[in-house]
Amino acid sequence: MSLILAFLASIGRTVLAGLAGVGRFTLFATETVSHLTRPPFYWREFGHALVQIGWLSLPVVGMTALFTGGALALQIYAGGARFNAETVVPSIVAIGLTRELGPVLGGLMVAARVASSIAAEIGTMKVTEQIDALTTLSTNPMKYLTLPRVLAATLAVPVLVGVGDVIGIMGGFLVGVARLDFGAATYLKTTLDFLETWDVVSGLIKGSVFGFIVALMGCYHGMNSGRGAQGVGRATKTAVVAASVLILAANYVLTEVFFSA
């Protein structure tokens, strides 16, 4: 009997700890957003975050999109050949990239690169008392560290997704023309004919949501980092894993909202 009670108690403790974590994260997110309307706003930190998150993520997002577009063209061609539907390659590559693969893969690559670096940086600042120092210097760490990063990621990731869409479609185009014997003009015309504005816009909205998630997870886990190198390492790992899972979950929810009949 006592064994069963202990088992149930451990489940209860886990559930309570999980709910407490969700509550803390929700409060953190709410506080971050609330600072948007309350001065001061640290423009220099925002600009720095834009460069770090947006500009410096461009190579990795671009390479991911390029190779994904190429591989997608090959797969769709091979699959479409079973139904004599090889001509759908340009349109499916474009729709697949803009609606799904561009934002999701872009978001995941940014999560790997940015959530980890934000969590490690803020976590190190926490364990070396730099966060306490900020407070004693009359500077709110949420305003100085969190808000600029979250806002920069929310604005920069959709731009990265847009650029990634173009590069990904070019990857499909290069493979289509060089390997699959499509005419260049035909490929581009089919792409443009089938692609709708909403395909692109929905992907950009997803990118914005994913950017928000990535930066918020990095900041939250950094601010709540444990002591020492192990604490910072754990915060970094958790930030990347949590951001990645949340991106995939949010992608499903957004797809339901945007595209379910």
Residue number, 91 or 124, with CB nearest to another protein: 124
**Footprint (CB under 8 A) of another protein, residues 149-168:** none
Residue number, 121 or 165, with CB nearest to another protein: 121
Count CB neighbours of 56 within 10 A. Answer: 14
Is residue 135 within the footprint of another protein (CB under 8 A)?
Answer: yes
Q: Determine the residue type at 119.
A: A
In 3D space, the residue among 138, 150, 157 whose CA is nearest the CA of residue 222 turns out to be 150
Exactly one of 11, 19, 133, 253 binds another protein (CB under 8 A); which one?
Answer: 133
Contact 147, 33 (CB under 8 A): no
Q: Determine the residue type at 57.
A: S
Residue 105, CA atoms < 13 Å, CB-side half-sphere: 24
Residue number, 17 or 253, with CB nearest to another protein: 17
Residue number, 91 or 139, with CB nearest to another protein: 139
Count CB neighbours of 113 within 10 A. Answer: 19
Exactly one of 128, 184, 248, 259 binds another protein (CB under 8 A); which one?
Answer: 128
Is residue 137 within the footprint of another protein (CB under 8 A)?
Answer: yes
H/E segment holding residue 209:
helix 197-223
Exactly one of 56, 75, 88, 130 binds another protein (CB under 8 A); which one?
Answer: 130
CB of 21 to another protein, least distance (A): 17
Exactly one of 40, 59, 183, 228 binds another protein (CB under 8 A); which one?
Answer: 40
Say how far apart CA 172 and CA 74 lie, in whole Å. 8
Exactly one of 129, 178, 183, 227 binds another protein (CB under 8 A); which one?
Answer: 129
Exactly one of 8, 14, 19, 132 binds another protein (CB under 8 A); which one?
Answer: 132
Residue number, 125 or 214, with CB nearest to another protein: 125
End-to-end CA distance of the chain: 51
Query: Prior bond to 40 cis, omega within 30?
Result: yes
Residue number, 10 or 128, with CB nearest to another protein: 128
Exactly one of 42, 46, 67, 258 binds another protein (CB under 8 A); which one?
Answer: 42
Is residue 136 within the footprint of another protein (CB under 8 A)?
Answer: yes
Contact 159, 102 (CB under 8 A): no
How many residues touch another protein under the rule CB under 8 A: the total is: 14
Say how far apart CA 248 and CA 250 lie, in whole Å. 6
Is residue 51 within the footprint of another protein (CB under 8 A)?
Answer: no
Whose structure tokens read 């729709």? 95
The two structure tokens encoding residue 206: 């997803």
Q: Which stretches of the chain bind another protein, using CB under 8 A?
A: 40, 42, 124-125, 128-130, 132-133, 135-139
